[in-house]
Amino acid sequence: MLNGCQAGRKAERTNFHMFDQLRCAATHEAGHAVAALHFWMPLLEVSIEPNGVGATRYARRLGFGEIDRWVCVSYAGPAAELAVYGDADEAGDLRVIKQMLKALDLHWGADQLAEYRQRAQRLVEAERAAIGAVASELLRHRRLTADAIAAMLPVPVPEGALWAA
């Protein structure tokens, strides 16, 4: 499964330097990656391209029972941008979330989606230092495996610790 996304709105700013665009994409993907590992999801790797497009890849197709965590992880990308830059464009990720929910014939209301967005924001705040470290490494290498990212994280948080909050 591929969760591709783009920091499109920022790319359109005339004074938004190429490096800033990349840094923003790195922060966004680092948010997805750290959240995915937080929930012990089968993350494979994350990458960023020079045009500001990022991708989060999983090692296998995600199961039906993982959809709630996956939605939270999907919101964690824009949440990381929001935490670092003060604003974020979540349109791309939200589109993918809605496509996935539709494919699974799930009918989530706006309130439920808002709740998952808030969970992602809390998770990002708690993991902010790790996300910053992963973003820096992603900026340097453009591609990081799940193992490389896991090695950068502090002691793993027990599964569901934040989820239950």
**Which residues make up the interface to Zn ion (CB under 5 A)?**
5, 77, 93
Shortest distance, position 64 Cβ to Zn ion, whole Å: 21
C-alpha–C-alpha distance, residues 45 and 21, integer Å:
20
Shortest distance, position 122 Cβ to Zn ion, whole Å: 18
Judged by beta carbon, residue 95 or residue 161, the one nearer Zn ion is 95
Q: 63, 58, 67, 66: which is closest to 106 by C-alpha?
A: 67
Shortest distance, position 68 Cβ to Zn ion, whole Å: 17
Judged by beta carbon, residue 45 or residue 93, the one nearer Zn ion is 93
Shortest distance, position 32 Cβ to Zn ion, whole Å: 6
C-alpha–C-alpha distance, residues 109 and 11, integer Å:
30
Judged by beta carbon, residue 99 or residue 158, the one nearer Zn ion is 99
- The DSSP annotation for 12-58 comes to T-TT--HHHHHHHHHHHHHHHHHHHHHTT--EEEEEE-TTSEEEEEE
Q: Which residue is nearest to Zn ion (CB)?
A: 5
